Amino acid sequence: MKILAIDSSAQVASVAVLSDNAVLAEYSVDYRKTHSQTLLPMIDEVLRMTETAKEDITAIAVAAGPGSFTGLRIGAATVKGLAMVWNVPIIPVSTVAGLACNLAGTDDLVCPLMDARRGQVYTGVYGFDGSTIVEYVPDACMTIDPLIEKINALGRKVTFVGDALSVFQEKLKSSVTVPYSLAPVHLAKQSAASVGWLGVKLLAEGRTVSAEEFVPTYLRISQAEREREERLEGK
């Protein structure tokens, strides 16, 4: 059994091949190149390097969102195409939970911060019971202040990960009252190995969808819809 895992939710493009208990390959690029051009050649590379035939692939794990709308859709369309032809299920993995799994097994709480622009973050708070991930604050798109309130209320040491660390570093310093640390650079960004690691567990629980059913989880409506709602509410 092998799992192909993909994360294209932000600037990092990351793909990995996992077996039950090993990461056979991971290939990540954090550079300004479009996922549209890099993702499929990277998938081709990891499958060839691990001598993975399509018959070997049991399922495809994908960072389903939140994240960059376009990035999520490039990943989604790619896995929907692959899964349709290979006739395998898709395992949707929360991008936020996937980031938290970069620190799987830690005793701290983990709070991923993904830059959602407009002063907001895609975030959530997770912890680990041995190797089982536990959700403390569900994934959401929110401003930093209410998030910090929730973290302070949890009253436990927390490690922040994600690409918005640099944006909110000062804010964390001034407002977080619990002990906290920032993940080192090699653990701070999206990793397909983490998505795959969580994906293997979700697969065992049967939490898969078909290629036809899968759509990204945006956690934010489009600007046009938001403006229309505001207009209808007479704001």
Minimum distance from residue 28 beta carbon to another protein (Å)? 18
At closest approach, how far in Å is the CB of 23 from another protein? Answer: 22
CB of 205 to another protein, least distance (A): 24
Indicate the residue among 167 and 215 with the shorter CB distance to another protein. Answer: 215
CB of 59 or CB of 109, closer to another protein: 59
CB of 144 to another protein, least distance (A): 24
Q: In the complex with another protein, which residue's Cβ is closer, 81 or 179?
A: 81
Shortest distance in whole angstroms from residue 193 CB to another protein? 21
| Residue 92 near residue 211, CB atoms below 8 Å | no
Of 38 and 175, the one with the shorter C-beta distance to another protein is 38
String of b and e for 31-62 (b: at least 16 CB within 10 Å)? eeeebeebbeebbeebbeebebeeeebbbbbb
| Number of Cβ within a 10 Å radius of residue 20 | 10
Residues forming the site for another protein (CB under 8 A): 34, 36-41, 43-44, 54, 69-70, 73-74, 76-82, 84-86, 211-212, 215-216, 218, 222-225, 228, 231
Alpha carbon of 112 to those of 39, 116, 226: distances in Å?
Answer: 23, 12, 25
> Of the candidates 106, 69, 70, which has an alpha carbon nearest to the alpha carbon of residue 194?
106
Q: Which is nearer to another protein, 147 or 192 (CB)?
A: 192
Residue 87 per-residue DSSP state: T
Instruction: Say how many C-beta atoms besides its own lie within 10 A of residue 119's C-beta.
Output: 12
